[in-house]
Chains A and B, each alone.
Chain A
Amino acid sequence: MRAGLPISLGLHAAVLWGGSIAFSNAKPLEEGQIVPVTLVSIADVTDIRAAIEPPKVKPEPAMEPEPEEPMQVLTAADNAAEEADETRIAPDEESVPEPVVPPEAEPDDEVEPEPEKVVEAKPVFDLDRISTLIDKRKDVSTTANTQQATEADEERLVYADRAREGIGTGTKMTVSELNALQTAMYRCWRMPADAADLELLVVRLQVDMLPGGFVRDVKVIDRAAQRRRAPGNAFWDVAEMRAVQAVTKCAPYDFLPEEKFDQWESLILNFRPKL
């Protein structure tokens, strides 16, 4: 699909290199010499698998090594995530200093309304609005156009933040059940504690579960919009990597009540580091 990016010694984006090629073994090495050190070329680092669709009845990874197709061992987030966002990452990475969308267009306060101080007591569930969002997002997902993507994502952020006001409404999951999830995450999530502007590095994950609390799929969503919170921050890749790792490491989530599977089968987890 995509060839590896040419990379210089100082480039921080190691995490997200590479495209998806079916075989994993033949990854060329980055060339480096000590005296004098010259990095000649860059690896086309193969990613593990194409992952056109998530393996349906995949059991917990650690239990099944799957020797003949090692790249599928993981329930892996990574591929799906990359697949979805691939086209968006590249521009993000390369045009680091420049936000893709003219920043004046949307003042920040609109992007990130503090949930605490929303004036309207009730979240607005406006169907028209939602369908607009859906339409836009459809466009976005099929195009590489980052600008549209961020725009749509951003609206969605606004929406999500408003919706957040509706805490507890209409859900049958109890607070303690969700607390258990957070406790588990505390154990598995290594915050990128040394990152600059840590609190801006919010990573949104879509997590799909299997019965028994196994992770079927995890992927970064709304990446472009999130990254606009701290454009050019060198720690985004690591923040995303750590969040995805946390979800994978904590599985199985067998403490989640079986009878409410329909509710946690698909979750959105927002990793919002607070020191």
Chain B
Amino acid sequence: MTRIFLTVLAASASFATLGLATPASAQIEVDITQGNIDPVPIAVPDFIGTDPQTAELGRQIADVIRADLERSGLFRALDPASFLETQTDIDYEPTFADWRIIKADALASGRIVRDGPDKVRVEFRLWDVFAGKQLKGIRFSTSNENWRRTAHKASDAIYTALTGEEGYFDSRIVFVDQRGPKTNRTKRLAVMDSDGHNPQYLLGGSDLVISPRFDPASQTVTYMSYETLPAQVYMLDINTGRRERLGSFPGMTFAPRFSPDGSQLILTMVKDGNSDLYAMDLRSRSTKRLTTDPGIDVSGSYSPDGKRIVFQSDRGGTPQLYTMNANGSGAKRISFGDGRFNSPVWSPRGDKIAFVRQNKGKFAIGVMDPDGKNMRILTDDWSVDMPSWSPNGRVIIFTKETRGTNGKSELWSVDLTGRNLKRIDTPGQATDPAWSALLE
């Protein structure tokens, strides 16, 4: 556990650096190795408004920020009822002592200023309560309807300042809305904000659709549809609604995923019953076959530098994870644990690969390094599938299904520590979630 190192440094060796009038005596040095990993307590008072309307907006925005931060698992949004100080002007320093008493590590205070009939300015400052200094001050100009995105952007700024990594709140999730019992389901392509708000259908519900995924610009979604048989891979521009079938192959095509630069699509194509991975160049629409073995090769996913691909194959007898070069060469197996390994997805940060392990009647979401080391299971359940990474590579969203005739599917997320498991509210049942990049 904790080790103690006592060090007696001779005379003033260290004081020389400090330039302080510290009494010259032996100096004790202690190693602290164990800290807690509790969420950071943060105070987010309702943003101040200048009139009833902006005051209401200020309440809503603060609500969204508090919910965002809480959901991340890294923060605990303190109850506004406990606040001692009511700031009236965010340009004056808060009374830090008041915030220290309620044990807030950080304080985010903001205001809304009307900028025109339909425009507001949202300003906020983030304070380090214990150091007594401002960490960040940001102003957004936005239209009234865009207040949610403004709130998410503020959450992202806070998240970044206090954790050191990029946020993920101002992003979207494409998914498949699902209705009806197991034996008679309708599925519909839909999209929503990262917190589950603003769900919108992208297509009618007449055709079975599977595995939508965003392109890096978060504008286009690729997915598999049974609109024509055999089922094929499509692309849909979510702003214009323009839809396009990517080729008409004799065999089924499925499991599409964009390359990190958006120029390629990796997909699986069936030929004489055998599934292999292909890369499609989106400009020329030419396809290049990447795997040729008689096993099932499926679920390809590019590394963020576009140089490698992780996929699943049962060439060795059971489904396992493999990596190979983007041109199909140099395949090597990376999963060696118990069970069957499926649905790999390379983290946008590059350091991890998420997967689904099936073992002893259970399915689990796990992560491993790209070389297969450091495998960890984050969560398991009766049935989980279709993992997708948050833009910052810290959270994985996935599908969870409950068993039985009335089994339902839901969206859940878990962070890399495995400690923060959360359900994402959706209008109906939902499956096949895929996260966009952070929005511009």
Binding site for B on A (CB under 8 A): 10, 12, 14-15, 17-18, 24-37, 39, 43, 45-48, 54, 61-65, 67, 70-71, 73-74, 76-78, 84, 115, 125, 127, 130, 133-134, 137-138, 140-141, 156, 159-160, 163-164, 166-171, 173, 175, 178-179, 181-182, 185-187, 189-196, 206, 208, 217, 219, 221-222, 234-239, 241-242, 244-246, 248-249, 262-274
Contact = CB atoms under 8 A, between A and B. Distances in A.
Interface stretch (B157-165, B236-244, B266-274): B157-165
Interface in B138-162: 138-143, 146, 149-150, 153, 157, 160-162
Contacts of A271: 32, 35
B189 to A, nearest CB: 24
B227 to A, nearest CB: 33
Contact of B161 (A15, A133, A208, A262): A15
Contact of B27 (A185, A191, A268): A268
Nearest to A23: B93
16 contacts: A17-B135, A37-B140, A61-B96, A67-B95, A78-B133, A166-B6, A167-B4, A190-B35, A190-B40, A193-B37, A194-B165, A244-B131, A268-B27, A269-B31, A270-B31, A270-B32
B82 interface: no
A265 B20 contact: no
Contact of B16 (A26, A137, A236): A137
Interface in B35-49: 35-38, 40
In this complex, which of A24, A78, A182 has the most chain B Cβ atoms within 10 angstroms of its Cβ?
A182
A262 B8 CA distance: 13
Given A173-B6, A217-B20, A245-B105, A237 B93 contact: no
Interface string B392-420: 00100000000000000000000111000
A137 B13 CA distance: 9
Interface residues of B, number: 81
B16 to A, nearest CB: 4
Contacts of A189: 32, 35-36
Contact of A178 (B4, B98, B165): B4
B125 interface: yes
A263 B8 CA distance: 10
Contacts of B10: 125, 127, 130
Nearest to A47: B133
Contacts of B123: 29
B38 to A, nearest CB: 6
A169 B417 CA distance: 40
B29 A160 contact: yes
